[in-house]
């Protein structure tokens, strides 16, 4: 059966169409997919660029922030042109200049317990590009409650990690039952971050998202990939669903989104 590609699409996606692992069927799945990227910063930038290039049909971009000069050292979807504008607006412009086939939906707002379910519900795969523990727990809880796959990534100074949470196979709370105490982990403003590090981690998030959509390969499920840029090493640590997890365990106590204080007993800052 001939896939309904235009002449331009046959050229644009020629390397995917030629790839045994993707082919016309996989490319069609990509073009029909709806992916939400929460946080269009260090990790969201490379993830959005590669997912747009790959031809993901609809990209949701959620971020409440504006582009600052200090972002441009690593947030490669943004540019001088977008300085002081909303991140989602600038990112949408870049995505459309790269691939006008992509339909972009922007959400210039903070994703919180009040709007997360409504927002995530509309997408097939969620990519976590946030930079706080509170946001990561929130996304993980919402994704599990909606039974959506979540592609998690995080970075700290010169290290990063990435994993995929599939509903029923473990969640962020299984991996990290408690957030670190407030102040234990310093923000990137204080400790810095190596420019190319989020490119490595965010690009792996994009690759895992493409694999999830097309159903190929071995996903980073039940294993977290840890990267150290200075040593230039990748280590894999396996984890399992925690049967006592308050969200995805055998006897869950959390059935709706709640503020992080109520779940963790510890307030965490954004």
Closer to Zn ion by CB, 47 or 263: give it. Answer: 263
Distances (CA, A) of 167 to 35, 61, 114, 146, 222: 16, 22, 21, 9, 11
Q: How far apart are the first and last CA of the chain?
A: 50
Q: Residue 145 interacts with Zn ion (CB under 5 A)? A: no
Stretch touching Zn ion by CB under 5 A, among 53-61, 67-75, 173-181, 225-233: 173-181
* Backbone angles phi and psi of 89, in degrees to 5: -65, -45
Q: Residue 212 interacts with Zn ion (CB under 5 A)? A: no
The DSSP element (H or E) to which 52 belongs, if any, is helix 44-54
Give me 149's structure tokens: 């796959």
One of 166, 248, 263, 268 touching Zn ion (CB under 5 A): 248
- Residue pair 114/238 in contact (Cβ under 8 Å)? The answer is no
Cα separation, 77 vs 92, whole angstroms: 9
Closer to Zn ion by CB, 127 or 174: give it. Answer: 174
Stretch touching Zn ion by CB under 5 A, among 30-38, 156-164, 218-226, 247-255: 247-255
Stretch touching Zn ion by CB under 5 A, among 36-44, 58-66, 237-245, 260-268: 237-245
Write down the least CB distance from residue 197 to Zn ion, Å.
27
One of 29, 74, 148, 173 touching Zn ion (CB under 5 A): 173
Q: Residue 142 interacts with Zn ion (CB under 5 A)? A: no
One of 37, 151, 174, 268 touching Zn ion (CB under 5 A): 174
Q: Residue 171 interacts with Zn ion (CB under 5 A)? A: yes
Cα separation, 75 vs 91, whole angstroms: 10
Closer to Zn ion by CB, 33 or 171: give it. Answer: 171
One of 92, 166, 245, 268 touching Zn ion (CB under 5 A): 245
Cα separation, 118 vs 256, whole angstroms: 12
For residue 166, count other CB atoms closer than 10 A to its CB.
18
Binding site for Zn ion (CB under 5 A): 171, 173-174, 245, 247-248
């Amino acid at each position: 059966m001939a896939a309904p590609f235009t002449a331009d699409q046959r050229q644009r996606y020629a390397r995917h169409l030629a790839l045994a692992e993707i082919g016309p069927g996989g490319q069609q799945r990509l073009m029909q997919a709806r992916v939400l990227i929460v946080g269009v910063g260090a990790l969201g930038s490379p993830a959005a660029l590669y997912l747009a290039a790959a031809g993901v049909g609809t990209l949701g971009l959620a971020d409440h922030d504006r582009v600052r000069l200090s972002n441009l050292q690593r947030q490669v979807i943004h540019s001088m042109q977008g300085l002081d504008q909303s991140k989602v607006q600038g990112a949408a412009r870049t995505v459309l200049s790269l691939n006008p086939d992509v339909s972009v939906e922007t959400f210039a707002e903070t994703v919180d317990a009040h709007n997360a379910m409504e927002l995530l519900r509309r997408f097939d795969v969620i990519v976590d590009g946030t930079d706080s523990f509170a946001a990561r727990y929130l996304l993980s809880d919402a994704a599990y409650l909606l039974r959506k796959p979540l592609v998690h990534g995080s970075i700290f100074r010169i290290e990063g990690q990435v994993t995929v949470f599939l509903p029923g196979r473990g969640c962020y709370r299984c991996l990290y039952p408690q957030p670190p105490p407030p102040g234990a982990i310093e923000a990137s403003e204080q400790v810095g971050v190596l420019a190319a590090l989020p490119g490595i981690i965010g690009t792996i998030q994009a690759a895992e998202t493409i694999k999830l959509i097309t159903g190929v390969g071995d996903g980073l499920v039940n294993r977290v990939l840890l990267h150290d840029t200075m040593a230039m090493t990748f280590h894999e640590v396996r984890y399992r669903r925690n049967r006592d997890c308050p969200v995805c365990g055998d006897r869950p106590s959390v059935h709706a989104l709640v503020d992080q204080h109520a779940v963790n007993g510890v307030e965490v800052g954004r």
